[in-house]
Amino acid sequence: MEKALITGFTGQVGSQMADFLLENTDYEILALMRWQESMDNIYHLTDRINKKDRISIFYGDLNDYSSLQKLFKTHKPDFVFHLAAQSFPKTSFDIPIETLQTNIIGTANLLENIRILKQSEDYDPVVHVCSSSEVYGRAKTGIKLNEETPFHGASPYSISKIGTDYLGRFYAEAYGIRTFITRMGTHSGPRRSDVFFESTVAKQIALIESGYQEPVIKVGNLSSVRTFQDCRDAIRAYYLLSLESQKGKIPKGEAFNIAGEEAFELPEIIEILLEFSDMGGGIKVEIDKARLRPIDADYQMFDNTKIKSFIDWKPQIPVRQMLKDLLNHWRNEIKRGRIPLNR
């Protein structure tokens, strides 16, 4: 039975990657997490984890080379979905060193372990390196971003993902590791962290509905225009790319944009979310200066032509449904007594 390693297992993408693989494959899943991480996104899997029903946890850290060494020498996964990162652009301005350390050096630690095992034991997994559309930074208005668009770091996070992106290609070109790199555009849906725009808006609406917040939504920059897609659509693309890579149909080190095909100005996203609430008409929106970034990637439109030439894929979940599912996620969290921070 083939094994798949998921780094960043407890995050939105990692936990939903596990859900997808459990439902659509017979892989054994190895889930990498730090021992102190939140369990919020994976409580629904704990019974299977306890029973070792196709999924088990390995406690480690991207910044602890020895823990990764033990993981790879012991388990040798056939697929590696490298999703772990310090993934919050706004936060990266406050913790730039940790962001760079985790995303660049952490990725190098992972790829170095694979390189050494490849040389000594002919170990040859398929490795998905998750970059980000943030590598393109401040794009020119009216330009559709394709995989040849020059990088332009607009935050410590985007700079860290530029490093991650280059590492994925380098280890393919220099050592023949079967990597592919994805640059996912704005993605959301259930389990999206509340530090991201559409999720903090949905969370605040749910808090207001439940009486935990005054009827005012606090937001940052609203001048951004971008595409949105459901995370579950992106995960399907990750899986399909991994299969084509295993078959040798994707050149090693190839990079792919994966983005939604519905574009919105950010005020439109707020309007849609408010439509789903009976209190929508009585809720105000205010700019909170504390939520503004020093520099912002305020225009991101993508060209999905390349990925569609390699796999049969396109986004299937409409953005309105994605946003409704996100709002219901926060409503359900509050009903369970998990009151999120007002941030």
pLDDT at 68 exceeding the cut of 70: yes
pLDDT at 293 exceeding the cut of 70: no
- Mean local confidence (pLDDT), 330-339: 94
Q: Report domain 197-225+262-299+316-335's class.
A: alpha beta
Which tens digits make up the pLDDT trace of 166-184?
A: 999 999 999 999 999 999 9
Q: What is the pLDDT of the chain when averaged over all its residues?
A: 93
Which tens digits make up the pLDDT trace of 7-66?
A: 999 999 999 999 999 999 999 999 999 988 889 999 999 999 999 999 999 999 999 999
Q: What is the pLDDT of residue 87?
A: 87
- pLDDT-derived band at 88 (thresholds 50, 70, 90) equals confident
Give the CA distances from residue 343 to residues 57, 194, 197, in Å, rounded to whole numbers and listed in that order. 30, 8, 11
Q: What is the pLDDT of residue 300?
A: 76
Which tens digits make up the pLDDT trace of 230-261?
A: 999 999 999 999 999 999 999 999 999 999 99
- CA pair distance 120, 338, nearest whole angstrom: 48
CB atoms within 10 A of CB 223: 10
pLDDT above 70 covers a percentage of the chain that reads 97
Q: Which fold has domain 3-188+229-258?
A: Rossmann fold (3.40.50)
Q: What is the pLDDT of residue 299?
A: 63
Q: What is the pLDDT of residue 343?
A: 77
**More confident call, 215 vs 341:** 215
Which tens digits make up the pLDDT trace of 113-154?
A: 999 999 999 999 999 999 999 999 877 777 788 999 999 988
Domain boundaries, the chain: 3-188+229-258, 197-225+262-299+316-335
